[in-house]
Amino acid sequence: MEYKTYVCRKRARFKAICGQVNIPYGTTLNGQGGFLILNDLPVCSATSQNAYDFFTQNDDGMGQERGELLNRIIPKLEKRDAGYQARWGKIWEDALCQKYKRPEQEDHWIWNHDFYNGPVEDLRYIAALIGA
């Protein structure tokens, strides 16, 4: 069985598999059997939106930096200002970014699982690309 470690990248308040949770930033969780586990209780699936929104892998010890980069990239891309289309244009045109796009959506960009747990170097590159 494969075990992974995750870190909470921003306070996680939601109804989890085990009930309501309020997990502070920086808390370490274990990944086991495709689920994130805290205090021997399942919190969410490792591929769920809650996992993507609140947690990131920390197997390489870079989970906090990975989380901070995601916390900069995602809001920057969501910001509907004058540079919105230009930022997304850079993402659509970039070869590295393409490997993080879910392929089933041709007209719409949805980040895949690998993006949320990607190498810090790639996330740094994406952050710099869009000015995050």
Count of alpha carbons within 13 angstroms of residue 4, beta-carbon side: 18
Query: What residue numbers bound the domain in which 75 lies?
Result: 61-132
pLDDT of residue 49: 95
Q: Report yes or no: 34 and 47 within 8 Å, Cβ to Cβ.
A: yes
Same domain, 71 and 55: no
pLDDT band for position 1 (50/70/90)?
A: very low
Same domain, 66 and 127: yes
Same domain, 86 and 45: no
pLDDT of residue 74: 96
Same domain, 125 and 103: yes
Residue 45: which H helix or E strand, with range?
strand 41-45
Distance, CA of 98 to CA of 61 (rounded, Å)? 25
Average pLDDT estimate for 85-89: 96
pLDDT band for position 37 (50/70/90)?
A: very high
